[in-house]
Amino acid sequence: MKTIIEPFRIKSVEPIKFTTVPEREEILRRGGYNIFMVPAEDVLIDLLTDSGTSAMSADQWAGIMRGDESYAGARSFYRFRDKVRELTGFKHIIPTHQGRAAERILFSITGGPGKVVPNNAHFDTTRANIEFSGAKAVDLPTAEGVDPDVIADFKGNINIAALREFIEKTGAENIPLCMITVTNNSGGGQPVSMQNIREAKQVCQEYDIPLFLDACRFAENAYFIKLREPGYADRPVKSIVQEMFSYADGATMSAKKDAIVNIGGFIAMNDDGLALEARNLLIVTEGFPTYGGLAGRDLEAIAIGLEEVLDEHYLQYRIRSTAYLGERIVAAGVPILQPPGGHAIYLNAKKFLPHVPVDQFPGQSLTVELYRHAGIRAVEIGSVMFGRHDASGKFIPASMELVRLAIPRRVYTQSHIDYVIEAIIEVFQNRDKLPGYRIVEEPPLLRHFTAKFEPIG
């Protein structure tokens, strides 16, 4: 059989609310044309993020009931620790309430003024935690990784030649660790090859720099390796995952992605000294080292999710259903960041709305229209999020104007995705009519969350 189906049946359902175009126009007006201001209840299909929005399985919900809520040494902790250790091989496994808590602990210890941390592309919270410590975050993508139109297998790769050059220039003593983000979220959900991880490890080893994975979407990355990298087609995904982690000295993870839970994360490493410092910090702000800001039940659900995510029927459905959305809209001429990523499709708003200049936020215009037209919530990743003004007041746009449609795991069915496809194509057909936007109110930091807009003209 060639039809790929959702590898689950549905036991518990959550109704979604239908609204009319005039109702949504009023909701948008009230929220200052900012999609973050729209109450989730008024969203029909919510593709704002794949983080913490996935559906847990019957087994995970049963695990929630089995959770051991003892303060110290809970059974659920050992179950969690053993599962993470089985997959990663790391000696020290430290739970945190989500990914950015792991990042904050790691960079509070290793960061600080004068330090620089390279990555294929830092996610915003990783960058923020590095910079908050006084250190600098540097992205080292490949040339094909930053070209939205190139179709290549591993556009998430870190640039090995640039990494070596960067270490020589910066001095190994100023680089506390090197990170690789799998899959590369900021670069379009693109995978990193095993060869690239191996080569990055070799370079790091030469200079005695630890390598850490930002492992949020490790299973999706491993499945791409299985599909695309010579020599891996017949390997079980679990063994590909184990090989990926074998080249790393540690990892941070937001369990809200590939552990298929609504909250949780961890930091893991081999270094005893670093682990001791991490646990000391953990106790101050997160909790005792056997729960780290989570309930025992959360640890139980993570342990189960980490096994379920390796099911190859699940991964086949996951990667195929994202590609399906991408391929269908590309066939209608819609410009996207190519090729489709693991967890999301990124619309190329600059090409979608060539008549809207970047300082009028084409990504914002497209995001507003997807909601107005069809009740779909996506997120602008462009000049609203990353644009700024230099000292002379000149507008510096983001490098790309994207709109991300992130797909929660096991939540929407193919007919939901068909609806999304139809909506995007209809918006594309009427794209000439879409206006630019101006900002009428903005906070000093992270303006995309709360800024107010109005349409121009």
By CB under 6 A, name the binding residues for ligand F0G. 49, 51, 98-100, 123, 125-126, 181, 185, 214, 216, 254, 256, 265
Residue 187 Cβ, how far from ligand F0G at the closest point, in Å? 10
Nearest approach, Cβ of residue 112 and ligand F0G (Å): 20
Residue 446 corresponds to which amino acid? Answer: L
- Residue with Cβ nearer ligand F0G (256 or 410): 256
Question: How far apart, in whole angstroms, are the C-alpha atoms of residue 208 and residue 273?
Answer: 16
Nearer to ligand F0G, 88 or 125 (CB): 125
Cβ 430 to ligand F0G shortest distance, Å: 28
- CA-based angle 48:125:127, to the nearest 5? 135
Q: Which of 165, 270, 263 is nearest to 212 (CA)?
A: 270
User: Contacts by 274-282 with C-beta closer than 8 Å and gap 24+?
Assistant: 274/109, 274/110, 274/250, 275/91, 275/92, 275/94, 277/109, 278/92, 278/94, 278/105, 278/106, 278/109, 279/92, 279/94, 281/105, 281/108, 281/109, 282/94, 282/96, 282/105
**DSSP of 349-384, one letter per residue?**
HHHH-TTS-GGG-HHHHHHHHHHHHH-EE-EEESHH
| Chain residue whose CB lies nearest ligand F0G | 99
Nearer to ligand F0G, 259 or 434 (CB): 259
**Tokens 């999706």 belong to which residue?**
220
Q: How many alpha carbons fall within 13 Å on the CB side of residue 16?
A: 11
Gap between the Cα atoms of 78 and 95, Å rounded:
11
Nearer to ligand F0G, 51 or 364 (CB): 51
SS3 424: helix
Cβ 241 to ligand F0G shortest distance, Å:
16
Judged by beta carbon, residue 81 or residue 100, the one nearer ligand F0G is: 100
CB of 22 to ligand F0G, least distance (A): 30
When the beta carbons of 123 and 224 are compared against ligand F0G, the nearer one is 123
Nearer to ligand F0G, 211 or 434 (CB): 211
Q: Which helix (H) or strand (E) holds 389?
A: strand 388-389
CB of 353 to ligand F0G, least distance (A): 23
Q: How far is the CB of 333 from ligand F0G (least distance, A)?
A: 27
For the CB of residue 214, give the shortest distance to ligand F0G in the complex, in Å: 5
Q: With respect to ligand F0G, which residue has the nearer C-beta, 204 or 216?
A: 216
CB of 190 to ligand F0G, least distance (A): 12
The three-state secondary structure class of 177 is coil
Strand partners, 405: 345
Q: Residue for token digits 């919510």?
A: 46
Q: How far is the CB of 98 from ligand F0G (least distance, A)?
A: 3
Cα(39)–Cα(419) distance, rounded to whole angstroms?
21
Length of the chain: 457
**Between residues 265 and 362, which has the closer beta carbon with respect to ligand F0G?**
265
As beta bridge partners, residue 92 has 269
Instruction: Give dist(CA 247, CA 254) in Å, integer.
Output: 20
Which one, 121 or 274, has the nearer CB to ligand F0G?
A: 121
